[in-house]
Amino acid sequence: MTDPTSRNRLTNAPSPYLTQHADNPVNWQPWDDAALGAARDRDVPIFLSIGYAACHWCHVMEDESFQDDAIAATLNEQFVPIKVDREQRPDLDSLYQTICQLVTGGGGWPLSVWLTPAGKPFYVGTYFPPEPRGQIPAFGTLLENVAESWADPTQREQMEQRAEQWSGAIEDELSAVPDQPDHSPSDDILESTAERVLSSVDAQFGGFGTGQKFPQTGRIQALLRAAATTGRDAYGSAAIDTLDAICSGGLFDHVGGGFHRYTTDREWTVPHFEKMLYDNAELTRALLAGYQYSNTERFRRATERTIEFVDRELSHPDGGFFASLDAQSEGTEGAFYVWTPETVHDAVDNETAATLFCDRYGVSDAGNFENNTTVLTIDQSIEALAKRHDLDESAVEKQLTVAREAVFERRSTRERPSRDEKVIADWNGLMCRAMAEAAIVCQDDSHAERATEALDFVRDRLWQDGTLYHDSTDETLGEPGFLSDYAFVGRGALACYEATGGVDWLALAIELAEAIEREFWDETKQTLYFTPESGEELLARPQELSDQSTPSSTGVAVELLGSLDGFVTHDRFEAIATGVLETHAAAIERDPLRRLTLALAMDVNARGHTELTIVDDQPTRPPADLAATYLPRRLLAPRPPELSGWLDALDLESPPPLWADRSANEGVPTVYCCQQFSCSPPQSSVSDALKWFDRD
């Protein structure tokens, strides 16, 4: 039988990240039985490299090391080299990223892990340079040292002992649950969480911490919710200042819309330039919440431009959303996005417009990035520009629009960053939810149409015979889905029901919730696992309690199940949501900054949803009065006066609690507001109905 490790096997891999490595001299293997079996047969360690297509340092390590013939020879002869796309296998990434964080105090990508033939880690790191750099060893030297140690019986025994210890640590960190919940979920979790968030705020530049700046939208959502609940201005001001910084700095693409991954500096100036679908989804939701809370028009405009970017550049022709855009083009990070005064003036015919553009966005001869180029940031206000150039503010805005359109057209002639054309279920769910919310807040049905189009794609392509698959590339299905897929797509489906009044989307949300119960719920341990019961057996069966680059899947699942409790005639969903919160209450309260999504779900569990049942002959997009009102625990339950067809669609014999005994009043659209088992009288006006929530 031919040794599968005798050649590079990534040529036909269903992942742009993996196929990028198909021409490396390294005999890369996918994570599969053949590769794992080869490691056992050859009795050599596995070198596992985990990354993703838009990862800058993944590209760097490929160029420096994986294209090097000498390094490739060592990898091929002494190891089984396996390449994994973290976006396709978040379960593997979770396991090995956890041990990297426990051992080194940090993590990230590329993730470099050395495993025994049984898949147990004994050495771990992230990026390794070709030459020693400070305390970081040279990659080639490290490979030779590991191979020599493995060949020495005494040292190998030590490595295998370490692998057993580390595997136990992974199990303890990801799989363990308390023997017994020590107390019920806290009623004041929102306030304690908001205080923790507030203590992390960068008062000078906005955002959180004083180093690299990630958006951390969960913290923004917590601050806004706490501000609306407690009336404390400090929470709201910190959230709005952060959103202002995010919209003003280099994280936002001021020419084409949409957001980059994070900035490398405290001031929000220079980003890592990759654009991820999930970041743009979660930032859209945060901006919409900020807009409703503060009525800040620029947040609505940034939302619209972000949706335009996603629709223009991350859309599958059949409806779904692609994963990401790379940071690099022309072999250089950020080349697509940066400018000089010369390139701006060359692109914009109108001299005044070009000058205003440079002044507005800080484009200077010195620049703020490599090679005297400039990452666009808002450097001067419209008012200051008007005074400086002796123009009306409206004239300045008109000229800037002209310049931006010209710059956009010129930029479109540049070499574009590559696009990762995987359609990932959970990320699509996040974007569907964001666009459905935008339809409500911005009163734009086209956003709901785009959300349901994408949800249709996911349902038709990835939801097969009761199993939701994690991703699809060129119609090739990936792994069976994880908790994040079911939870995020389910929450997106619920949002589409709220935005459109389409009962089919509610039915899909309930189907996915039932699958969560079936595949991920452990009734004995009262927890939800990240991997399905029927999935691949790994070193540990992880839970995902903490927010990472996306929200905690456990937190979103709890939110979804709690939200759907009123749409079913049983109590199983509510029992799961409450059970998870009780199991992990101490962990959530101990460190709510790591577990923000669960903390916010605990808040809803304590205070209840802000429920609005809208009875109308043709349930459609909620009215403008609702769009302008910030209700952070809002749950919409549109229904027609005659329910028989809807009950059939949901396979129900009787109306669920959110619809029961709530009929149209005298044949006109009628609104019922409820919270914690108390309901308002029926109202014909949404604005009148909303006043009920303000009662003492």
Residues 208 and 170 in one domain: no
Q: Is residue 577 part of a domain?
A: no
Residue 559: what pLDDT? 98
Output the CA–CA distances (angstroms, integers) from residue 266 to 62, 207, 318, in the order listed: 29, 9, 40
pLDDT in tens, 216-225: 999 999 999 9
CA distance 3 to 633: 57
Domain boundary among 143, 174, 205: 174
Q: Are residues 216 and 330 in the same domain?
A: yes
Please indicate, yes or no, whether residues 275 and 393 belong to a single structural domain of this protein: yes
DSSP state of 556: H
d(CA 15, CA 220): 33
Q: Are residues 157 and 195 in the same domain?
A: no
Per-residue pLDDT at 181 exceeds 80: no
One domain for residues 145 and 216: no
Same domain, 229 and 345: yes
- Return mean pLDDT, the chain: 96
User: Is pLDDT of 126 > 60?
Assistant: yes
Under the banding of pLDDT at 50, 70 and 90, the label for residue 669 is confident
687 shares a domain with 625: yes
Query: What confidence score (pLDDT) does residue 179 get?
Result: 80
- The domain of 642 spans 609-696
Segment holding 312, helix H or strand E: helix 297-313
CA quadruple 489, 492, 497, 498: dihedral sign: positive
- Of residues 694 and 143, more confidently modeled: 143
Q: Write the single-letter amino acid at 475.
A: E
Give me the helices (H) in 81-129, please.
90-104
Q: How many structural domains compose the chain?
A: 3
Confidence of residue 684 (pLDDT cuts 50, 70, 90): confident
Is residue 412 in some structural domain?
Answer: yes
Tally the residues of the chain: 696
Burial 134-166 (b: 16+ CB within 10 A, else e): eeebbbbebbeebbebbeeeeebeebeebbeeb
Does residue 696 surpass a pLDDT of 70?
A: no
Q: What residues contact 6, with CB distance under 8 A and at least 6 apart?
A: 27
